[in-house]
Structure 1
Amino acid sequence: MRRIVTMALAGAVAALLLGGCGSKSEQEFEKPALYWYQKMMKAVASGNLEKADNIFTSLESEHISSPLIPQAMMILAQAHMDEEEYLLAQFYMDEYMKRYGSFQNRVLAEFMKIKAAFYGLHSPQRDQKLIDDTLVRARNYIVKYPTSEFTPMVQTIETRLAMTRYILNEKIAQLYERRDKPEAAKIYRARNAEGWVKKDDIEPPESGWFSWLFE
């Protein structure tokens, strides 16, 4: 009886080992770059971006010098942007610019990063630093690439953010006035006076900050 139990346990262990080896052998590796790229594209097309990210990791780790990598990065950045996953989109843009930061590549990559940051805004009150940082990026872009095909879109983003910052400064000034701190209120109104946006240029939203910003 003891021998039968021992044999049964040995058989179970062997089955587990064989099963483990079988699943491991099914893992894919050492595939051509085009194979990974096409598989990633299928995952993007099906909307499975988590799978696409994992496949890109395989492409990158097995073919670090492949000319398909920069194109794959751009595709994943745009795909994550389309899904409103703006932090992931910016991650791919940052990596793209680190590796492939030629002048022509940066024109597009920096535009996409500004666009991702802009659409990543959810609440002007909470995202004030992101607004200020994106304003700086947008203004720098306009100066660096005045003839870029993307510059008019960046100018629109810059205008929207400048108006949003003006309204926020005015709201903060009003809050300080209600708390009997007129000197603090003057600081924020002085900031508005220094900018090119004027009060008459803006029709403040009654509600729905988020939708107003993107209309």
Structure 2
Amino acid sequence: MPRLIWPLLAALLLGACASKPEESPERTEAAQYREAQSAMDANNYLTAIDRLKELEARFPYGRYAEQAQLDLIYAHFRSQEYPETVVAAQRFMRSYPAHPSLDYALYMRGLANFYMERSFFDSFMTTDKSARDLTSATDAFEDFERLVTRFPDSDYAPDARTRMVFIRNEMARHELHVARYYARRGAYIAAINRAQYVVQHYQRTPLVPEALAVMTAGYERLDQPELAAKSRRVLQENYPDSEYLDDDGQVDLAWWPREGKGLMSLLTFDLL
């Protein structure tokens, strides 16, 4: 029996060793980067983000480190993860301040800030953004301005300039929104100051005619005929066909509050 047991035990041990699966070799940096690229090509950006982060953790100084950070910026943006896009772009610019793709990182940071304030409904519904906080839009404007100043010949500069014009219009519209709010509540000096800011700082926006009209109506309500006449003259000479001028050349603002408020206006705080 002992002579039969030992060969049997040896056969069992050999069988167990043979049935043990072999461990897969560790992935190389190139193979892991290809996996991330395959995920991006398939528009599977969340998986791509995981692969790129893993690549950075395993090979922080590898041959794909710079490109992985650039891809991470793009993947976050396509996933609509705009705060993460800003962080990734800032990290790339801090790590590679002289990189040839620095204009791309700056442009993507601007785009992320540009879309930061957009709500879910903005993707399929036109909404008025003038009443919103424009902090992210201001950051986007600064990013685009820095891009066109440092890299005027960049492929991304034309689009950045176009978006700067749009943002300036939104800023002017925001100031006028506040001016209307003050005017409807009888704070005419505050309304005039907001409108004057539009005239001084957003001269090339289409909101200037209404701002001049607000200034004119505000000065008239404050019994300042000379200042009102000056604002009206600027409006008449520069925008003779403005919708805020009537046939006699006088300022006509449909939303401007009436001189005397009725009972309903007092009870509803001008909301109706």
Residues 180 and 36 of structure 1, relative CA distance in 2, 3 Å threshold: same
Quote how far apart the aligned CAs of 1:161 are.
0.3
Quote how far apart the aligned CAs of 1:101 are.
1.8
CA–CA distance in structure 1, aligned partners of residues 97 and 209 of structure 2: 38
Percent of aligned positions that are identical: 21
Residues 187 and 135 of structure 1, relative CA distance in 2, 3 Å threshold: farther
Residues 192 and 55 of structure 1, relative CA distance in 2, 3 Å threshold: same
Amino acid at match of 1:199: P
Name the structure 1 match of 2:213: none
CA–CA distance in structure 1, aligned partners of residues 146 and 53 of structure 2: 32
Contact 2:179–2:192 (8 Å) recurs in 1: yes
Name the structure 2 match of 1:152: 158
Name the structure 1 match of 2:108: 112
Q: Structure 1 residue 52 and structure 2 residue 43: aligned?
A: no
Quote how far apart the aligned CAs of 1:99 are.
1.2
Residues 202 and 72 of structure 1, relative CA distance in 2, 3 Å threshold: farther
Q: Structure 1 residue 198 and structure 2 residue 198: aligned?
A: no
Q: Which of 140, 158, 161 matches 1:134?
A: 140
Amino acid at match of 1:164: E
Amino acid at match of 2:116: G
Q: Which of 38, 44, 60 matches 1:42?
A: 38
TM-score where L is the length of structure 2: 0.58
Amino acid at match of 2:134: Q
Quote how far apart the aligned CAs of 1:127 are.
3.7
Name the structure 2 match of 1:189: 195
How many equivalent residue pairs?
179
C-alpha distance after superposition, 1:84-123 (max 9, x if no partner): 3222222221221121221533222111211222133316
Residues 41 and 90 of structure 1, relative CA distance in 2, 3 Å threshold: same
Q: Structure 1 residue 64 and structure 2 residue 60: aligned?
A: yes
Residues 61 and 130 of structure 1, relative CA distance in 2, 3 Å threshold: same
C-alpha distance after superposition, 1:165-209 (max 9, x if no partner): 111111110001112112221222122112233336899xxxxxx
CA–CA distance in structure 1, aligned partners of residues 206 and 184 of structure 2: 20
Greater fraction of residues in helix = 1
Q: Choose between structure 1 and 2 for higher RCO, CA contacts under 8 A separated by at least 6 residues.
A: 1
Name the structure 1 match of 2:87: 91
Q: Supply the RMSD in Å over aligned alpha carbons.
A: 2.8
Q: Which blocks of at least 5 consecutive residues in structure 1 are unaligned?
A: 1-21, 204-215
Q: Which blocks of at least 5 consecutive residues in structure 2 are unaligned?
A: 1-19, 120-128, 211-272
CA–CA distance in structure 2, aligned partners of residues 127 and 32 of structure 1: 47
Residues 122 and 161 of structure 1, relative CA distance in 2, 3 Å threshold: same
